Structures are given as C-alpha cells and as structure tokens.
C-alpha cells in the first residue's frame, strides 16, 4: 500500500502546513525581510505570522500572494515540490498558474459539494466516474473537464460561473 494511503487526512494536512512554513521562512530570509514586516503587511500579529512559518496555521491564497510579492518569490515556488527560487525562471512561474487554478477550482468544488450536503461518492455516481477522481479534482491534482464541471454545477445547485477564478 502506498505511503499516501496509509496517512490520515489530518496528518497530510499537518505535513503540508510544515512544508509551507519552511518555504515561507526561506523566502522571507532570502528577501531580507523580518517576520514583523510581513506580519504588518498581512495585518496580523507577529505571533500569528510566526505560526505560519512554524506550520501551525494555514494562510489564505491572497496572504500567500502578498508574501510572494513582498519576498520577490514566484508564487509557484510555494506549490511545486521540485521548484527553487534560484532555478525558477519566468516561464516556469507561468507554468505553475494552471496548477494553482486547479487547486482553487478544486477548493470551490469541495465547498459547493459540502454546502449541498453531498459526498464525493454522490458526485462520482452522478457523473459515472470513480469517486477517487472527484477527490483528485478537489485537491487540484487533475483538471476538471468543462462538461463534468457543468454537470456538477447543476447537481450541486450552483451557477456554472461559481467556479470561475
């Protein structure tokens, strides 16, 4: 059994938060910024910002975008496992944009599904696809075909433009 299937969802989330914290700290230090500077820019306490770097709390995408801008770091650096600021050129940063969009659309899909009181299995059955594929959509691991997105919008009772970014 693959390691990813053994770990619980909370364990995976905790690991993602720790990784994000390390990436935040590295970007901040490389840019010569202090925690106090970034906390002020985000309008959070220095303590709260420190919890981001310690991997104890998640930050929002707009907060992450601001940090990336202030630290002169491509946003893709925070999402691409193989990326480093030193070797990432502009083209690679642009290639990261679709992955970020997939993650955002996936989060919107999950939100709509939960608000509608449906399970991943319910959605998969409606589309005639495996439930694992719905999970892949929600985690931004796979692009959602337009026809399936439209069917999901109808099934979850949200307008199709609900998923636009």
The domains located in the chain, with CATH, are: 3-88 (1.10.260.40), 97-163 (1.10.260.40)
Q: What is the pLDDT of residue 8?
A: 60
150 to 19, 121, 144, 155: CA distances (angstroms): 34, 17, 10, 9
Q: Which long-range contacts (CB under 8 A, 24 or more apart) does 112-118 make?
A: 112/152, 112/153, 112/156, 112/158, 112/162, 112/163, 113/138, 113/152, 113/156, 115/156, 116/155, 116/156, 116/157, 116/158, 118/155, 118/156
Whether 60 has a pLDDT exceeding 60, the answer reads yes
What are the structure tokens assigned to 22, written together?
């390390």
Give the model confidence (pLDDT) of 75-94 as tens digits.
888 876 554 444 444 445 44
Alpha helix ranges (H) inside 32-58? 35-42, 46-53
Residue in this structure with the two tokens 């909370």, named with its chain if needed: 10
**pTM, full prediction:** 0.47
Both tokens of residue 90? 């502009």
């Amino acid at each position: 059994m693959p390691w990813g299937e053994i770990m619980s969802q909370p364990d995976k989330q905790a690991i993602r938060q720790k990784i994000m914290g390390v990436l935040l700290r590295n970007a901040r230090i490389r840019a010569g910024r202090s925690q106090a500077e970034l906390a002020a820019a985000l309008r959070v306490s220095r303590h709260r910002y420190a919890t981001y770097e310690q991997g104890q709390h998640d930050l929002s995408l707009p907060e992450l975008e601001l940090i990336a801008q202030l630290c002169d770091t491509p946003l893709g650096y925070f999402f691409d496992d193989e990326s480093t600021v030193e070797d990432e050129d502009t083209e690679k940063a642009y290639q990261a944009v679709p992955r970020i969009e997939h993650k955002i659309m996936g989060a919107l899909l999950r939100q709509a599904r939960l608000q509608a009181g449906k399970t991943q299995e319910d959605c998969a059955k409606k589309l005639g696809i495996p439930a694992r594929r719905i999970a892949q959509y929600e985690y931004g691991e796979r692009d959602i075909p337009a026809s399936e997105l439209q069917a999901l919008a109808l099934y979850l009772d949200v307008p199709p433009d609900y998923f636009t970014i």
